[in-house]
Each structure stands twice: as structure tokens, then as C-alpha cells.
Structure 1
């Protein structure tokens, strides 16, 4: 079985190769091809692969351009960092779609879907572009907070972390000040930029700059120390360790 990877992020290529090796040991992997032009050349001069893993945003443009310029009869699993709304949009078009960082269980489910597929879905590029444009939302960039009698607007880029304590959610600023927020952590997780923030556990969502130290812990978990945080026992579960490492390496 021939599998092609079209992806311009080095760590994402490595991650895909690892998952393919674990889930599809019989596969011969080619790639990653890091641009539209390189992918076009490869597809024009090589037999069609059995399966393609393809990022949407490549070094020189959207991968949609590839499939507009060359007929591709291979099934495609898109991999990208677009949010959950875009995932629903892509699945409506009978394509599978994996959100980065890729969860091993989701990856296995996508591969199983591929193995059971009896016919290759027909790509509708105009529909895909339309869905992506309509369904991809903007992330929250500012938070309105109250401090004494004052109301202040805090840029998301100045937030160190969010945390929950006794059913109250707090925003901690880079200055060390903390503010009460009218959001639950579950709500915040859906409106924050996943490149900037990561949900460490049920109590904490941290900005990448706020992570001071990472230590290995029992049962394959990690212990995190955040800057200006009194909690020294912030644990990341074994299931989230891989995603955290990929986020930090991004």
C-alpha cells in the first residue's frame, strides 16, 4: 500500500509517519511534500497512491490548488489546525478530516473508514472553499474584565493562563494580577487560539509563554509549573502528553 503525505510542517510529517507505522504497518510512505508545486509535480509523474494525507495550508498556498490542476483519484484525509466548525463542514462533503495535533484514536478511526470505503468521494473544490470560508471562526483577541470600579480590556496575548477555582474562572495577566471572568473553561477552550493556548487539565488553560518547567511524573504523566502560579501540582494526563508535546514543538 502506497501512502502519500502532503505537509509542510516537519514535526507534523514525523507525527504522521509514526501514526501510519503504528496503524498501517504494511504501508510504504512517501513525503512529506511541502508545497503545491512539489505535490503537483509528484502526482503528475507517479502512480496514484492508495491514500493521501494532506494539509490545507502549504508553503506556497492552499492544497486545494493541487486538486484543481490535476485529477486525483486517491482518497484524501485532510489534516490541519482549523477549528471544530470546519471539521463538520468537511465531513458534510464526505471527506475525513483530522485536527492537529492529531489524536491517535481519531487517526485510527479515519484509517478504518478508509479501509471500509467502497468508492472514493468526489472532491468538490468550490464547496470545500465555501465551507471553509463560512465555517472557520475567528478566535477571541480581547477580554473585558472588572478591577475594582474600573473596567479594563485585556488582550489575549497578555494572558498567562486561565484557571478555575471553586467554580469561578480567573484570567491571570502576565503582570501576575488575576481577574474574574464570566466564562467557563470549556467555553474558553472553544474561543481561544489553539496555537497560543492549551488545555492542560480540568483546571488550567495555559499560554505557551507561561510554561516555566515541565517534569516527568508517575504513570507517564507530566507535571507543569506555570510562571507566577502558586499551584505546583498541575498534572497533564497520559492521554494529553502527546498533544502537549506537539503543541510545544509547533
Structure 2
């Protein structure tokens, strides 16, 4: 069996099995285009994602993910479901119970909140073009009225509150400050599009902060034409942090 689709809560999830398992699992938390249904997922239909998925499977990794209610933007219910998925995998699969996590874009908002959960162990974290701050993301999108209006509608749906309440809530939260000294983090920033260049400025400020705090964070910048390097970079990073079982 190469893969299996199943439901948790109301959401479809998917797990991919390697031909020769190495005993380690990868939780994937996708970006805005990510989806899972009863037949497949964004990772099986998109050529670039499928190539990355196949590389991980070839290296022996079991890969799993959930639809997470669509455009969740780091909502509590998305974090809770990601937790439930990890617990389901631990109960039903023969894997090391300390997972690698790969999160892209808004998926970083969920992945970083998993740090505070005691029920699962994160072995390492890879962030690809991450969104670290919803407040900062809202400010970025203000320049384009259409996308800004669309983003607000998605946020209100995901958090089940109006944007004014949400902005007050966000003032009390700073996800990027929740990195931990015992969990290695690799950030891969693909420099494609104006949003990516704006995010690189935010990343530069954060990296200065992490360096002062001596947190185990490494950052790689990748040009669009070199995107295929992402797969080998992630595998090298995972392998480096599998010495201790």
C-alpha cells in the first residue's frame, strides 16, 4: 500500500508509505493551496510537491498530513487537529514517536504552536517561506485591497470572530518568539515574487534576534530556478538530527 486516505473529525488526512521505511515520520503542514480529499491531495497533484514527496519516500520517510479545515491561518482548531493526527499516527503506525515537521507559508503558524504541546515530540522543524506573524502578514496585504479583503474573510472564518476581535487577540501573541533551544529549525526561503522579498526583510530582523538568543536556527536562501535543492536540503537536515533515537 503506497498511501491511505482517512478522516479525522470532519477532515480528510493522508499518509504515504515508503518502500523501505527508515522508521521516521514527517508531518507536513501546508500553505494556502494545500488540500486533502478522499482521492488525493495537493501533494499528489502538484508536480513540484509530488517530486519532493517522492524524494522523502525514497529516503524511507513516512509522510502524513491533514486538510486542517482549509485556510486555517494557525487557528486553534487547526492546531488541535494536527495534534490529533500525530496521536493517531503514533497509535497506528510503527514509527519513532519523535517526528520531523515541514511547514510552508501559513503552515508555520500551526507548526510553531505545536511547540507548546506536550503530547508530541518534534525532532526537527523545516519552514519553507514561513508566515511568522499574522499581524505582519495583514500589514503586507494591505497594499492590495482585493487580497486584503479576501484575507480578512478567511481569518474571520478560521478564528470564528470578527477582524477587530482578532487583531486584539493577536496583540497578545507572538508566535515567532516560541522557538525552543532544544528543537533545531531550518528555514528555506525561496526568493520568488514580491511577497517573498518582503518576508525576507522580516526574516532578517528575526534572525538577528535568534542569533542573540543562540537558538538552533539555520537559514538558506534559494533562487526559484534552484527549487529542486529544497528536497536534498531537507533530507540532509533530517539525517543530521536522527543520531539520537
Q: TM-score, normalised by structure 1?
A: 0.37
RCO comparison, higher one (Cα < 8 Å, 6+): 2
Q: TM-score, normalised by structure 2?
A: 0.37
Larger Rg: 1
Structure number having the greater helix percentage: 2
